[in-house]
Structure formats: structure tokens, C-alpha cells
Chain A
Amino acid sequence: MDSRSSDTIPGPRKEDVLPDTATAAVKIVIVGGFGVGKTTMVRSVSEIRPLTTEETMTQAGVGVDDNRGVDNKTATTVAMDFGRISISEQLVLYLFGTPGQERFWFLWNGLFEGALGAVVLVDTRRLEVSFDVIGRLEERGVPFVVAVNTFPDAPRHPLESLRTALDLPTAVPIIDCDARRRESSRDTLMALMRYLHSLAVQRA
């Protein structure tokens, strides 16, 4: 912070201010490898411009989001982009785009704790990047859907062959999406919600 002057204190734009009635919030985590479109998806559905929260890593052996073309210098600050959707006067939904590696998840206290569920965003050109992410969500028992971000130059595969490659149970939805498009990103979130709802019905 470089200024103490009250008029330069940062904060939400007028249109981004939550109403006083906002009392509760829920979150959905969008997980995926570097450049897979997490922030694009957050941006396309968020009612605010995506914001960035940071956390500092102090441990040794710090990695980066992707190991391609990056030296293993010690990164100290890791950023996570997020957006917001007002659900009602009381309820707010936050969307967090987070790197796939579990070591980042521990940086933000309870990132998955209490999350409704997760969207695993995959790029068919680098499908194997998502293997570990999906496995870690399974281990934690976090319900998720898989959304295949349709990049123009990415090979198209029938979703069922992707399901086989990803070894996804039949109940887990796998859908195509275009993270740049608001309706498509919204539909992806709806697919997750419908899946979560079906799980809740089964439990009842």
C-alpha cells in the first residue's frame, strides 16, 4: 500500500458493491492446468472484473503452474483469480480459478472446504495434465464435473472416448464448453449444480 489518502483507498466500483443484505456466500472452484482457460471462464460469467488474491509460499521446492519453459526459480507469490455472481439479495456465489497442483490448494485456507464442488477444465491437447487434478479431487471426495474447453486447434474427441481416457465414472458429467462465452460457462456451472443436486437427492 503506497498511499494513506482516503480518496485513493482501493475498493469496489460503485456497481460492484454488495447490498447490505448479503449475508452468506458459497464457492465453486475451477481447477485446471496453466492456460486452460480458468480465468477466461471466471471472467465470462462474473458480475465483477476478476480480482486476484495472493498468497506467499515460504517452503522450499516451490513449483510453478506449468513446468514448460520455466526455470525452477523459487516463486514466492502465487495468485488466484476469482469472480462473483449475486444469486439473491442474501446469497453470493464466488468462483475461484486455481492451479491444479495440490500444493497451491493448501495456500488458501480451506479452499475446497465447504466448496459446493469443482469444475475441472481440460484441454484435449494436454489431457494428461488433468489426470492428477481429477485424482486429487476424488481422494478428497470433492464432487466435480469435467468441462472440455474447445480450443480451435485442439483435436476433437467424442466425449465418451475422453471419459474412457479419464476413467470417469458414468455419473460424472463431462461436457464441451467455450470458456469465452458467458452462456457456455453458465451452462457448465449449471451442469455442476444439477450433478450436485442429483447427489443430494440420492443422499436423501
Chain B
Amino acid sequence: MSDADPGQQRRKRRQPEKAKQDPERLYVITGGPDGGDRAALDLVTIVVARAEPAPTVQPEQVAIVRLCKSPLSVAEVSAYLSLPFSVVTALLTELLAAELVESRAPMVRAALPDRALLEAVMHGLQKL
């Protein structure tokens, strides 16, 4: 360990900005480019198949339903099918509307996590 200064440059602390913490604003900015309605799907929303797709369902959606026979996050669906996240959320929006897939909402959305949840995560990490 040396006492050398880690660099001439020093960062300056910033203050929280109300506008940047507003989830509504985030949502508006990141909404679909087509301005269409999208289901509020998070990267970690867990989705699971509910029914067999009809033959009329488009192939990418059939692939999603098959993939979700066991629960998966939207991020995993995107990864396994090599489809962009926004494409997956658009496809899932239709599948949710058709009730071929159901979503299990992420536990924490725009709210500060409570102690019980944090303790559960800590307990899980300790087992690693």
C-alpha cells in the first residue's frame, strides 16, 4: 500500500435530482418507440406459460410460450431467443393479453425494499 494520491482528479459529489427519481418519467422516456401500449414488464418480471398456443400464433410467440413452460424472467427469454428486450416485451404484451402467458410481478417496483426482503436476500447470499 502506498500513500500516493490516486490521481490528481477528484470527483465532486452530486445531489439527488427529483426528476431523475421519478419512475413515471423513466417510463415515458423508455416507452415503446411506436408509442404503443406495452405491458409493464421489467427485466426481472417472471413469466410462465398458461396454455398451448393456437396454430395461428406467430412463431416467435410460440417459441416464447414453449420456453416459459417453467418460470423465466423476461431477461432470460430475451437471452435464450436472441431477441432484443423491447421486441420480447412487445411479443409478451400480446401473449399476456391472449392469456397464453401470465406474469408474476417483480416484488419491488419503484418502492424502497423493506427489511424483510433485504434480510431474505442476505440469508440467501450467505448460503452461497
Judge whether A114 is part of the interface by a CB distance below 8 angstroms: yes
Distance from A148 Cβ to chain B, minimum over Cβ atoms (Å)? 10
Residue of B nearest to A29 (CB): B43
The closest CB in chain A to the CB of B86 belongs to A55
A82-B75, A109-B27, A113-B42 given as contacts; is B85 within 8 A of A197 (CB)? no
Is B6 touching A157 in the complex (CB atoms < 8 A)? Answer: yes
Interface residue A72 (Cβ < 8 Å from any Cβ of B): no
Per the 8 Å Cβ criterion, residues 33-58 of A in contact with B are: 45, 51-56, 58
Chain B residues bordering chain A, tally (CB within 8 A): 77
B63 near A94 with CB under 8 A, answer no
Contact with A along B43-79 (1 / 0, CB 8 A): 1111010000000000110010011001111011011
Point out the residues of chain A lying under 8 angstroms from B63, CB to CB: 1, 9
Q: Contacts A27-B44, A141-B16 hold; do A190 and B122 have CB atoms under 8 A apart?
A: yes
| C-alpha gap A179/B67 in the complex (Å) | 31
Annotate B15-41 by CB proximity to A: 1 below 8 A, 0 otherwise.
Answer: 111001101001101110100001001
Q: Are A155 and B4 in contact (CB under 8 A)?
A: yes
A106 touches B16 (CB 8 A): no
Chain A: interface residue count, which band?
Answer: 35 or more
CB pair B21–A193 under 8 Å, yes or no, is no
Least distance between A92 CB and chain B CB atoms (Å):
7
Cβ of A140 < 8 Å from any Cβ of B? yes
Interface residues of A (CB under 8 A from B): 1, 4, 6, 9-12, 17-20, 22-27, 45, 51-56, 58, 77, 82, 84-88, 91-94, 96, 106-114, 116, 124, 127-128, 131, 134-136, 138-141, 155-158, 161-162, 164-169, 182, 186, 189-190, 193-194, 196-197, 200-201, 203-204
Could you list some 27 contacts between A and B, CB below 8 A?
A9-B63, A19-B70, A20-B71, A22-B71, A22-B104, A23-B46, A25-B44, A25-B106, A25-B107, A26-B117, A54-B84, A56-B86, A88-B124, A93-B121, A93-B125, A94-B43, A96-B43, A106-B26, A108-B30, A109-B85, A114-B44, A114-B111, A116-B118, A128-B7, A128-B11, A140-B17, A165-B9
